[in-house]
Amino acid sequence: MEECARCESNKGYCDYTRTYDVDGLAKEWNFTCGYDRHFNATRFAVMTISIYVAVSIFSFLGLVAIICISYKRIKKTITKRRRKSVFKRINGGLLLKQQKEVDPSLVDKTILFTSHELAKATDNFNENRILGRGGQGTVYKGMLTDGRIVAVKKSKLVDESQLEQFINEVVILSQVNHRNVVKLLGCCLETEVPLLVSEFIPNGTLSDRIHDENDEFPLSLSMRLQIATEVAQALAYLHSATSIPIYHRDIKTTNILLDDKYRAKISDFGTSRFVSMDQTHLTTLVKGTFGYLDPEYFQSSQFTEKSDVYSFGVVMVELLTGERPISLTRFGENRSLVAHFMLAMEEGHVLSIFNAMVIKEGTRNELMVLANLAMRCLNQIGKNRPTMKEVATTLEIIRTSHIPSTFQTNIGQVMHGDKISMLTYNESTSPSLTFTD
């Protein structure tokens, strides 16, 4: 019995058997200790619990999967409706309204990209793809599925006025077709802010090329003349050759891009405006960049085509001197490049502030013609400035007649501090008179 008690204490069970003698009487009791029933019960309990847990897990995972799928579908539907709403209410509404006012046929000419296309092209607008940041937005480098390299401009989400500027750029560029104006490829209106797609210009801005002191290949005078001539021709086209005249309103070296052959391309038309043929000016809030801003426009808030001429004059001086519009080294009134240039003209030593490359390659005569042309563009009275067509014609004559020279004795004297005689900048600088010398 002790062995049976020990078996039961070990969670077994006792199995009793009797042994009988020949007379049929019980001879003795035998028992065995068994565990089979206990183990079978445990195994059954474990299996039951496992099945319950497995069913619970699969049910939970199934529920999670259903929730995820439903969430994605709902999100996709909401996004699709929001894009459609944004397209119609804001982006598309403004675009169609402005395009119809200018030219109804432009509506069908505008190429529309999807947000998915442009996200894929820019690697989801990866920061490594950023080409530049400006007042109106950020520009990304992208590659379309057909292999074309493009620039994708993403507007800043600030207010509706910023949005209008961006849409305005689309409208302006939709009707512009000039080799020296950045070509618009299309836009995307599905996102919260519109996206503008234009041709990619590989050699950066004119400002970078002028002011990069580490540039191994600085711009030669011939290249500077070519760039100035191309920008002038593009502005002349905008002012007088388009179906409706266009004032750019923000001409500066950072808005002039250079392609693979260093041809100039005017960009950034966010603040540009169409002008009806019977208008002589626009009365607007003063917008522009300090250092390039027409003082007459600043005082009157009346922007004319001659305001673009003034800004171009600053670009010319920047090309000739290699200095920035606002100096970080000069003080007082001479911090302004225009003031510094005018003072040098009045004192008769303007060539001494010209860029060394310009001095090395130019003749005294052609450089003085350029200096006087810049002075005419910078005249404080707008009506006394030349038109961009006149400027472009003069520059083309200078460019085609220019013969690069590495040694000019008369300019060498100027570089040693000698003053020179010059044309007074308020006199006519007709090329026919100048080049008979």
Distance CA 64, CA 52 (A): 18
Closest CA to 90 of 8, 143, 162: 162
Catalytic residue, from 21, 23, 250, 278: name it. 250
Burial of 381 (C-beta count, 10 Å sphere; 0-12/13-18/19+): exposed
Q: What tokens does 128 get?
A: 């490594």
Q: What tokens does 222 get?
A: 């011939």
Distance CA 220, CA 292 (A): 23
Distance CA 342, CA 327 (A): 15
Distance CA 141, CA 151 (A): 5
Range 237-244, long-range pairs (CB < 8 A, 24+ positions): 237/178, 237/180, 237/181, 238/176, 238/178, 238/181, 239/305, 239/308, 239/387, 239/388, 239/389, 240/387, 240/388, 240/389, 242/175, 242/176, 243/103, 243/175, 244/102, 244/175, 244/274, 244/275, 244/276, 244/277
Distance CA 62, CA 114 (A): 34
The partner residues of 139 in beta bridges, in order of sequence, read 132, 153
Query: Does residue 250 carry a catalytic annotation?
Result: yes
Catalytic residue set: 250
